[in-house]
Amino acid sequence: MTPRLFHYIRTLHSWIGFLILPWIILYGFTGFYLNHSKAINALLMPTPYDESNFVVKSENQWLSVNEARQKAAQIWADEPITKAKAIEYHGFVAIQFTKPSGNVIVSIKTGHYYKKTRLYRYTYDPSGDLVNRKIYWSFLFHYFHEVGWIDNSFGVWFADITAIALVLFGVSGIILFIIPRQRKLKRFLNALVLR
C-alpha cells in the first residue's frame, strides 16, 4: 500500500469517526436502554403524581361535548379536530379529540385534560395549568434506535447513513491496524510455519 493511499484512508477514518460520533453514542445508549429499560426508567421517570386530586364535580357541572370540544380546540389551535370519541382514560370518563399532531383527552366529570402524542403526555388541571409532564422514553429510544432520528421526516436515511459509515469506519480501522503491523504479522506467520 502506498503512503498516499494509507494517508487517505487515515483521513477518511478520522472524518467518518468525527461525523458519526454523536450517532454512535446515541445508538450505544439506546441499545443499552433496550437491554436494561427497567433500570434506566427508574432513573428517568419523574415522581408519580396523584390523579385523585382531580375532584369529580356534581353532575350539573360536568362538561358538555361542546365545552370539551372548546377545550380541545385550544390545544394545537391551528389544527382541525379530525375525530372525537368517548373513552375511559386513567379511570375517568372522557372524550378523545384527535388532531394531526396528537390527541387531546378531556375528562368530562373533572374538567382536567391531557395533551398526548407518541412521545409525551402533558396533564392540565381544569384551569389549564400544567400539573404533570410524562415523556415516553421507551418509545423515544426504541424509535431513535430503529430510525436514527426522533421522527420519520427523514425516513430511515439517518440510520442507513450511519450503518454505511460504521461499515466504512470498521473497514478503514482494520486496514489502519493491519498495514503498520504487516511485516510483524508475516514474520510471526513464517515462524509458525517453520516450526
Structure confidence at residue 86 (pLDDT): 94
The pLDDT, as a whole number, for residue 184 is 81
Spatial distance between the Cα atoms of 137 and 134, rounded to a whole number of angstroms: 9
pLDDT number for residue 87: 96
pTM: 0.65
Any bridge partners for residue 133, and if so which?
A: 122
pLDDT digits (tens, 9 = 90+) for 70-107: 999 999 999 999 999 999 999 999 999 999 999 999 99
Residue 103 near residue 97 (C-beta atoms within 8 A): yes
- Residues of the chain short of pLDDT 50, as ranges, are none
97: closest CA among 120, 119, 74? 74
Beta bridge partners of 24: none
| Grid cell in block for residue 173 | 480501522
CB neighbour list of residue 66: distance below 8 Å, 6 or more residues apart: none
Q: Provide the residue ranges of all domains of the chain, joining segments of one domain with +.
A: 3-41+140-194, 55-124
Q: What is the pLDDT of residue 153?
A: 60
